[in-house]
């Protein structure tokens, strides 16, 4: 076929289209195969070390990988496996270039470090974010909790004051400033948020006072009593401190406790030894019920609380020895914990534990030496 023949041009044109289509098809097939391999490798890497490589490969080959990886990391945090979440976040961070994108992942990484107990690393990350984006109340709140766990109460109060300041400015401008700050809050939400800030302030001030060893003892006690009068939810923490320094001081304050406060402090009252309880000086009827249930007061009066009255009857008529055990249920998320935490380890709510009293038979187990 001569070159001048129009048919030659058409054949060449069709051949070029076919070649391009074939190359494109092969390339897509290769990319899909790589993607599948990368996902398989990522899944495999959950069981062993080497997360970072799998994450990097997945990030390179997937079109929108962040939501998937964040979902996996979040699932790890929910199941208590913060270490795996940390590996994923570190892998994502390495591949991100835009500083704004990094903030969100850094915040999640800081939370994962906090959950895993690496408090110093969590603190460094939150401070790094705030250095670049200071008006960020969510990060400030995480920083506050980290300071609290590090026993740096003064710094925690400073963080709280920054949140208050941002909130006040936002409230004055009717929540119209949006970037990294508060979403508009309804009146009831505002009230709840303000109460939360106030409770945190009293709580942190209480911890600061209790741990301040330079303050004269009398003024420390006076300040703690002032806080207790303003915020009854702190009575348990303050009276636990009083119990640790002086039983006389504890019993001076205990008579004035309300019924709800006593019901929330049965664990502390139950743990006293007989010689440390001046029964003749106790006038609070709810506290007397606790010792009636313990068998230290022997009269015909019934206890007001179901568990205590059961204990009272068991102490008298049951051949088995029984005692009370305690658990703590968060009023906000309903999780139950064997130990009391002022701040719920699951939802972070402050001072919202309900005390659960459980009657148990005392078992005397024979212990054998392991040597
Ligand atoms: Zn909770």
Written in H, E and C, the secondary structure of the chain is CCCCCHHHHHHHHHHHHHHHHHHHHHHHHHHHHHHHHHHHHHHHCCCCCCHHHHHHHHHHHCCCCHHHHHHHHHHHHHCCCHHHHHHHHHHHHHHCCCHHHHHHHHHHHHHHHHHHCCHHHHHHHHHHHHHHCCCCHHHHHHHHHHHHHCCCHHHHHHHHHHHHHHHHHHHHCCCCCCCCCCCCCCHHHHHHHHHHHHHHHHHHHHHHHHCCCCCCHHHHHHHHHHHHHHCHHHHHHHHHHHHHHCHHHHHHHHCCCCHHHHHCCHHHHHCCCHHHCCHHHCCCHHHHHHHHHCCCCCCCCCCCCHHHHHHHHHHHHCCCCEEEEEEEEECCCCCEECCCCCECCCCCCECCEEEEEEEEECCCCCCCCCC
Q: Are 123 and 156 in contact (CB under 8 A)?
A: no
User: How many angstroms separate the alpha carbon of residue 259 from the centre of ligand 1?
Assistant: 23
Half-sphere exposure of 31 (CA within 13 A, CB side): 10
Total residue length of the chain? 371
Question: Which of these three, 83, 100, 118, is where a domain ends?
Answer: 118
From ligand 1's centre to the CA of 165, what distance in Å? 27
Between the CA of 125 and the centroid of ligand 1 the distance, in Å, is 25
Residue 1 C-alpha to ligand 1 middle, in angstroms? 84
Which pLDDT score, from 0 to 100, does residue 43 have? 42
Given a cut of 80, whether residue 188 has pLDDT beyond it is yes
Reported as a single tens digit per residue, the pLDDT across 313-323 is 998 898 888 99
**pLDDT over 50 (residue 212):** yes
Place of tokens 């705030």: 130
CA of 307 to the centre of ligand 1 (A): 24
Half-sphere exposure of 67 (CA within 13 A, CB side): 2
Q: 267: pLDDT confidence band, cut at 50, 70 and 90? A: very high
Q: From ligand 1's centre to the CA of 92, what distance in Å?
A: 30
Last residue of a domain, one of 89, 118, 147: 118
Per the structure, how many domains does the chain have?
A: 2
Centre of ligand 1 to C-alpha 350, Å, is: 8
How many angstroms is it from 336 CA to the middle of ligand 1? 9
User: Is 63 inside a domain boundary?
Assistant: yes
Q: Tokens 């640790």: give the residue.
A: 244
Q: Residue 6: pLDDT above 90?
A: no
Ligand 1: distance of its center to the CA of 330 in Å?
5
Say how many Å lie between the CA of residue 351 and the centre of ligand 1: 10
Cα of 341 from ligand 1 centre, angstroms: 10
How far, in Å, from the CA of 332 to the mean position of ligand 1?
5
CA of 265 to the centre of ligand 1 (A): 19
The whole-angstrom separation of Cα 329 and Cα 338 is 9
* Gap from CA of 344 to ligand 1 centroid (Å): 5
334 is a domain residue: yes
pLDDT, position 69: 81
Beta bridge partners of 325: 358
Residue in 213, 208, 268 with CA at minimum distance from that of residue 236 = 268
319 and 361 in contact (C-beta within 8 Å)? no
Q: What per-residue confidence (pLDDT) applies to 46?
A: 39
Distance between Cα 228 and ligand 1 center (Å): 23
- 357 DSSP β-pair partners: 326
What spacing in Å lies between the alpha carbon of 334 and ligand 1's midpoint? 6
- pLDDT tens column, 103-151: 888 898 999 999 888 999 999 999 999 988 888 899 999 999 999 999 9
Whether 349 and 332 have beta carbons less than 8 Å apart is answered as yes
Maximum average pLDDT range among 32-46, 82-96, 276-290: 276-290
Cα–ligand 1 centroid distance for 188 (angstroms): 21
pLDDT, mean of residues 6-13: 83
Place of tokens 């990030």: 59
- CA 21 – ligand 1 centroid, Å: 58
Provide Rg for the chain, Cα atoms: 31
Residue 52 belongs to what domain range? 24-118
Q: What is the residue whose two structure tokens read 């994450």?
A: 55
Q: Pick from 63, 86, 118: which residue ends a domain? A: 118
Question: How many A from CA of 78 to the centre of ligand 1?
Answer: 13
Residue 174 lies in a domain: no
Classify each residue of 85-105 as buried b or exposed e, where b means 16 or more C-beta atoms within 10 Å of its C-beta: bbbbbebbbebbeeeeebbeb
Cβ–Cβ < 8 Å for 112, 77: yes
- Which CATH number covers residue 69? 1.25.40
Quick one: pLDDT at residue 45?
44
Residue 151 CA to ligand 1 center (angstroms) comes to 21
CA of 353 to the centre of ligand 1 (A): 8
């Amino acid at each position: 076929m001569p070159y001048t023949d129009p048919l030659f041009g058409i054949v060449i044109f069709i051949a070029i289209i076919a070649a391009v289509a074939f190359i494109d098809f092969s390339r897509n097939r290769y990319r899909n195969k790589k993607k599948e391999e990368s996902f398989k490798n990522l899944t495999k890497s959950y069981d062993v070390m080497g997360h970072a490589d799998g994450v990097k490969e997945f990030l390179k080959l997937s079109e929108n990988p962040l939501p998937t990886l964040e979902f996996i990391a979040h699932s790890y945090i929910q199941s208590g496996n913060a270490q795996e979440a940390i590996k994923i976040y570190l892998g994502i961070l390495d591949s991100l270039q835009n500083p704004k994108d990094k903030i969100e992942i850094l915040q999640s990484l800081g939370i994962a470090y906090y959950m895993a107990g690496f408090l110093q690393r969590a603190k460094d990350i939150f401070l790094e974010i705030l250095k670049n984006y200071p008006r960020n109340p969510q990060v400030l709140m995480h920083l506050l909790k980290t300071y609290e766990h590090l026993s740096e109460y003064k710094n925690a109060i400073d963080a709280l004051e920054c949140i208050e300041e941002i909130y006040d400015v936002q409230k004055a401008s009717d929540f119209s400033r949006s970037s990294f700050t508060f979403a508009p809050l309804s009146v009831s939400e505002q009230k709840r948020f303000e109460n939360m800030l106030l409770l945190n302030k009293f709580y942190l001030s209480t911890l600061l006072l209790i741990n301040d060893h330079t303050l004269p003892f009398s003024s420390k006690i006076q300040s703690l009593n002032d806080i207790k009068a303003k915020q009854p939810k702190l009575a348990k923490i303050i009276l636990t401190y009083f119990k640790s320094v002086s039983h006389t001081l504890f019993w001076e304050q205990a008579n004035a406790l309300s019924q709800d406060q006593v019901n929330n402090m049965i664990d502390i009252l139950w743990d006293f030894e007989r010689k440390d309880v001046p029964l003749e000086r106790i006038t609070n009827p709810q506290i007397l019920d606790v010792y009636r249930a313990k068998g230290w007061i022997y009269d015909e009066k019934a206890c007001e609380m179901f568990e205590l009255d059961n204990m009272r009857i068991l102490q008298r008529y049951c051949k088995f020895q029984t005692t009370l055990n305690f658990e703590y249920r968060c009023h906000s998320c309903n999780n139950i914990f064997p130990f009391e935490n002022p701040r719920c380890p699951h939802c972070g709510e402050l001072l919202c534990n309900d005390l659960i009293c459980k009657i148990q038979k005392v078992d005397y187990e024979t212990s054998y030496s392991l040597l």
